[in-house]
Chain A
Amino acid sequence: MHYSALKVLWQGLTGNKGWTEVWREPDPKPEYDIVIVGGGGHGLATAYYLAKEFGELNVAVLEKGWIGSGNIGRNTTIIRSNYLLPGNQPFYEFSLTLWEGLEQDFNYNAMVSQRGIINLIHSDAQRDAYARRGNSMRISGADAVLLDRRKVREMCPFLDFENGRFPIQGGLWQPRAGTVRHDAVAWGFARGADSRGVDIIQNCEVTGFQIENGVCRGVETTRGVIRAGKVAVCVAGSSSRVMAQAGMRLPIESHVLQAFVSEGLKPVIPGVVTFGAGHFYISQSDKGGLVFGGDIDGYNSYAQRGNLPVVEDVCEGGMAIMPMIGRARLLRMWGGVMDMSMDGSPFIDRTHIDGLYFNGGWCYGGFKATPASGYCYAHLLATGRPHETAQAMRLDRFITGAAIDERGAGAQPNLH
């Protein structure tokens, strides 16, 4: 069913009785060309691009619970491509360009809202680093603007320019960055993939891989064995658990990242703002909630919940730059499980087991990557070659010493 304003009008006039299922609920077939393990944003995007761009139609997405119930449904919805390193920058810029045409592409309004992101600058060294980063962005075709203090003040008069412990000196602005209605991304990709024939199978947990003579031939699931030409794992948050079933240890730890939303408020914050002297980022949703977050809790966890010290730390960061939010109330906080990798960057790669592919390690940057991650994974699965923007995201990069370490924090996941 094609969605349009006209359709909404017609359905409204006829009692909204004609809306059909956004995706089917098929039973799994015994065999597919490609089985994608994980019905989160990245898995669904992979299926969508496999079908749409690479003509792979005999594809299934297996989801343990309900599609979109992982981190695609639990994040702070920010999209941006303000990355520094050549292993990352072109990939995230590719993702941003995909975001820009996504809604028309999959005929679903995911509310891609390019209201910009400002990374605040609080010291000379930070300005140097952001100038380097901004230049990286500009050189690779992205947009970036270095703002002085006066300009930041013009754009965000509500920030604390008078009394800050770490005074605001300026900012790095990416006008094309913004936010997206996160759940709608999963639904839009699911709908697009489903309409092209991809089977989306919910409540189907993978319990093992069928590896025969070093070749992966399928998966065992709670709904039986499903054979596959290729098995593409895409389960960030649970990567280690799933890949352990194939006997692999990964350069990944699972950590909890909390996110927060306030009660609904009339518009006060124009785009995304991040604090440069603490860990805090914030935007305001179309419904009016302030959506914000900060650092991970720091300990390994699969528990999908965090603890109070980080809640306080995040709110301190918020009050440090915008003390007007003191009387806004925090409505809901939740924790998502992140694949924190050893250099803070992800993996899109084949494994040493033929026919078994891996996509994960997204740390807390997976949401913005969703379309490009799907596209590049689909490219790898369909063509056997990495997409040109994802060539650095290899699993063996710690053997060769080709880390993609944006923060320069080294091999300790909770520092990224």
Chain B
Amino acid sequence: MIINHPLLGPRDAAEFVIKGDASLIDRPDWQIENAAEAFHEYLFLRDNPAGEHRELWYHEQGDRSWLVVTRNTLTHEVTRVEMARDVARKARA
């Protein structure tokens, strides 16, 4: 597969390490009332869609950026690649 890195251009997926669903960006607040439940859902439960999937890839053999890659799990087609940091900042804003 090829990941089109927003800063570096197309790169072989073998340069990356994949972590999983991009929802892992949305770590719950530890002080909320149902924190244990929220953390359980956050860490363990997955939509695991057959189709479009937003996921976290890390350019370990490259610039060490974490990326959010939108990829289809049925066809492997990649439709969007973003810097995870931008996604995370947007989510917090």
Contact = CB atoms under 8 A, between A and B. Distances in A.
Given A252-B48, A412-B20, A300 B53 contact: yes
B50 interface: yes
Given A303-B73, A303-B76, A298 B18 contact: yes
A250 B46 contact: yes
A301 B45 contact: no
Contacts of A254: 48, 50, 73
Nearest to A396: B40
Contacts of B30: none
B55 A411 contact: no
Contact of B45 (A249, A298, A302, A414): A249
B14 interface: yes
B75 interface: yes
Q: Categorize the interface residue count of chain B.
A: 20 to 34
B1 interface: yes
Nearest to B55: A300
For A244, A299, A399, A412, the residue with the greatest tally of chain B CB atoms inside 10 Å of its CB is A299
Given A240-B47, A253-B48, A398 B40 contact: yes
A240 B48 contact: yes
Given A241-B50, A302-B73, A250 B55 contact: no
A279 to B, nearest CB: 15
B91 interface: no
B40 A399 contact: yes
A251 B44 contact: yes
Contacts of B44: 251, 342, 398, 411
Interface in A98-145: none
Given A300-B48, A300-B55, A413 B20 contact: yes
Interface string B14-28: 100111110000000
A309 interface: yes
A307 interface: yes
Interface in A235-285: 238, 240-241, 244, 249-254
Contacts of A252: 46, 48
B87 interface: no
A299 B18 contact: yes
B68 to A, nearest CB: 14
A307 B1 CA distance: 7
For B1, B43, B48, B53, the residue with the greatest tally of chain A CB atoms inside 10 Å of its CB is B48
Contacts of A412: 19-20
Contacts of A342: 43-44
Contacts of A411: 43-44
Contacts of B73: 254, 300-303
Nearest to A399: B40
B59 interface: no
Contacts of B45: 249-251
For A251, A302, A398, the residue with the greatest tally of chain B CB atoms inside 10 Å of its CB is A302
B6 to A, nearest CB: 19
B93 interface: no
Given A252-B46, A411-B43, 10 more contacts: A238-B50, A240-B48, A240-B49, A240-B50, A249-B47, A250-B45, A298-B17, A298-B18, A302-B73, A414-B18
Interface of A: 238, 240-241, 244, 249-254, 298-303, 307, 309, 342, 398-399, 411-414
